[in-house]
Amino acid sequence: MPTDPSEVSVGIQDLTFATTSLCLTHEELARHTGAPLAKYHHGIGQTAMSIPAEDEDIVTMAADAAAPIIECHGSRKIRTILFATETGIDQSKAAGIYVHSLLRLPPHIRVVELKQACYGATAALQLACALVRSDPTQQVLVLASDIARYDLDSPGEATQGAAAAAMLISAAPDLVELHTPTGLFTHDVMDFWRPNYRTTALVDGKKSNDAYLEALEGAWHDYQARGGLPFEKLRTVCYHQPFTRMAHKAHRRLERTANTTAPLQDIGQAIAPTTTYNQTIGNSYTASMYLALAALLDSDTDLSGDTIGLFSYGSGSVAEFFTGTISPNYRLHLRTEAHETHITERDTVGYETYRRLHTRTLPTDGTAYELPHQTDGRYRLAGIHRHQRLYQEAPP
């Protein structure tokens, strides 16, 4: 095995995701908001959004996503769990520790939570790759789990969603080998934020779109300055998708920045395979770009040996552009059927049920509180007692 970390092939060995048990269609939303359905289906590119049941949260989704990876690969080589989220449930304790317990993992693992809006999972991914390059015998479990919530009747309401992605990072990966260099961009901008005292995010939609595109240009220029591949060498790009039409806008801007152009139809063909999961799940913040990657890998497009770009954006803002090469036998390691099941088996709720779930709150005074069993997932939030969240495996 090479002793030089730069010579070690590192990347995504396994990738899967989970979402919630419930969903609200944009058709149902439009009936009550009075908005034209085309505004949702074509304007932002969304058809439905995942809604958490009362006993679902970022921990239960992350555990659901990670469990198949542990069952397939075991935990013997895992030395680190990195949990990325902007829907934190505790100001001190990492949410990943609850996942560690639910999955019955061994104690000799470090667990850390990372935060920087929707970019956090990419920070976790890069840290994971560095750890594996330093010791190729170890593996790192990266978890990205979020619930996107905006005020009822606000412009952002239609872009809500929820999901968790789980990735096993290892040497000689079976799915995607990740490369250096990467392009970075940071700029202090108040385009989207959520103070500690709020349960819903605040967003300036136009400023956020502009900040996203500015960050894309900045990260691309930095990537190129560090010897990155030319645009023409990339099969396509997976973008962070606060709504799926943003990926189309981003690809058009990147083409212009790279001094190349393609017909809009070609852009649509390039981006469409990355949007199939996000358009029906909605925004999942840290997990969003990795759901785009999962959708691309699960698509009918043969990507064997192709190099793709990945653009991660987190409001506030931090962005990164990097690339990866799809392994020749990647199709042998996909979880397409499980991913489709997560989506198709959600129960569709009506508008009133959605609003009730949106406005519900958990007690904050330490009172013992048991939650009804609603989730179809493997793990659930059972209750709260003395300010402690209690998780369990969901009964059959």
C-alpha 98/C-alpha 100 separation (Å) is 5
Per the residue annotation, which of 23, 26, 100, 118 is the catalytic one? 118
Contact 235, 306 (CB under 8 A): yes
Per the structure block, which two tokens stand in for 63? 């555990």
Per the residue annotation, which of 23, 26, 56, 86 is the catalytic one? 86
Q: Which residue has the tokens 């769990």?
A: 81
C-alpha 2/C-alpha 23 separation (Å) is 48
Annotation marks residue 240 as catalytic: yes
Per the structure block, which two tokens stand in for 112? 């850390």
Residue in 183, 249, 244, 241 with CA at minimum distance from that of residue 210: 249
Per the residue annotation, which of 26, 240, 339, 342 is the catalytic one? 240
C-alpha 323/C-alpha 47 separation (Å) is 29
Phi, psi of 4 (to 5 degrees): -80, 120
The beta-carbon contacts of 177-180 under 8 Å, at least 24 apart in sequence, are: 177/9, 177/10, 177/11, 177/324, 177/325, 177/327, 178/10, 178/11, 178/12, 178/125, 178/129, 178/322, 178/323, 178/324, 179/307, 179/322, 179/323, 179/324, 179/325, 180/6, 180/322
Q: Which residue has the tokens 């639910």?
A: 102
Neighbouring C-alpha atoms within 13 Å toward the C-beta of 105:
30
Active site residues: 86, 118, 240
